[in-house]
Amino acid sequence: MANRPLKLGYKASAEQFGPRQLLDFTVEAEDLGFDSVWISDHFQPWRHTNGHAPSALVWLGAAGERTKRIELGTSVLTPTFRYPPAVIAQAFGTLGVLYPGRIILGVGSGESLNEIAVTGAEWPPAKERLARLREAVDLIQKLWKDELVNYEGQYYKTHNATIYDRPDKPVPIYIGAGGPVAAKFAGRAGDGFICTSGKGDTLYRDQLLPAVEEGARAAGKDPESLDRMIEVKVSFDTDRNKALSDTRIWAALSLSAEDKVNIHNAREMEQKAEAVADQAYKRWLVSNDPEEHIEQIRPYIELGFNNLVFHAPGDDQSRFLKLYAKEILPRLRSRWG
């Protein structure tokens, strides 16, 4: 983990809970000692039944007012299809002024489920999605740095654009990546890198993290300056059977990327996920024993991830937050903090 400080965050699951509940969980997470809260930004959830999809932009403003200390970020938002990048630059410039030093823009190349419903456009291949993300990040950074931006990209253009309200220090941009090409871009253009757990150590050790370092060096940056963030899917409870059964609500995580890319509505996603619900637990660190759970988390820290954001699947998030703050966070900080 080198010189990067250990950060322990909470994932506010906007697919599972409404905006008011998420705010209450966020306040509780701050009170209990979590370092950050990250919200997903979906137009449609992966599950139709009891699903939610509050606007992250609106929610972050409310969360900033309800909290005092914690960092707040998106994991992740797509600034390339339903949002023009200049609008995201304006929104996060405003958030950065309101809550200086506490806002992070986490971005990714998007999912068809969220973008097609709004745009009606055909979903482009991965190469184009990443090209759009590269251009969008470049434009956002220019809008935060320059006074007047005339941008002529392949996908995005601005004419005499100025962001009038922006913090003195630009909001950090973290870039989500599931493969080495996007990870290299994260290292080159981002202030941090985001990925998710449960995909096998080889992917992180041999592909993603080396690509992040390669990208950072190519841009003349110290690789150690980049935050390495991972969303860790954890189902921890004193009742092991409950911890196992809680994961079923996130059955869609068991679907392959190829399966998900052609699903364009929450009902269809839920239907396909039900067929693999019995396999859902495999993507989660399931435990009822604190020391066993620390050992489940340990490989991610030893790989070099310093920013761990914990995503719990259960309906009783308050119970999870209290239990984790009592049994897990102190152990992690004592050992690696």
Contact 36, 47 (CB under 8 A): no
* 159 has catalytic annotation: no
320 burial class (0-12, 13-18, 19+ CB within 10 angstroms)?
A: buried
Decide: 27 and 249 in contact? Cβ < 8 Å: no
Determine how many CB atoms are found less than 10 A away from the CB of residue 106.
Answer: 26
Question: How far is CA 130 from each of CA 87, 103, 184, 246, 255, rounded to the nearest angstrom?
Answer: 19, 24, 12, 34, 22
Inter-residue contact 40 to 76 (CB < 8 Å): yes
For the question of residue 42 being annotated catalytic, the response is yes
The catalytic position among 15, 30, 42, 311 is 42
DSSP string, 169-208: SPPPEEEE-SSHHHHHHHHHH-SEEEEES-S-HHIIIIII
Question: CA dist 282 to 150, 277, 302, Å?
Answer: 48, 10, 21
Q: Are 106 and 176 in contact (CB under 8 A)?
A: yes
3-state class (DSSP) for residue 277: helix
Among the listed residues 63, 69, 79, 75, the one whose alpha carbon sits nearest the alpha carbon of residue 25 = 63
Of 15, 30, 71, 111, catalytic: 111
Q: What residues are labeled active site?
A: 42, 111
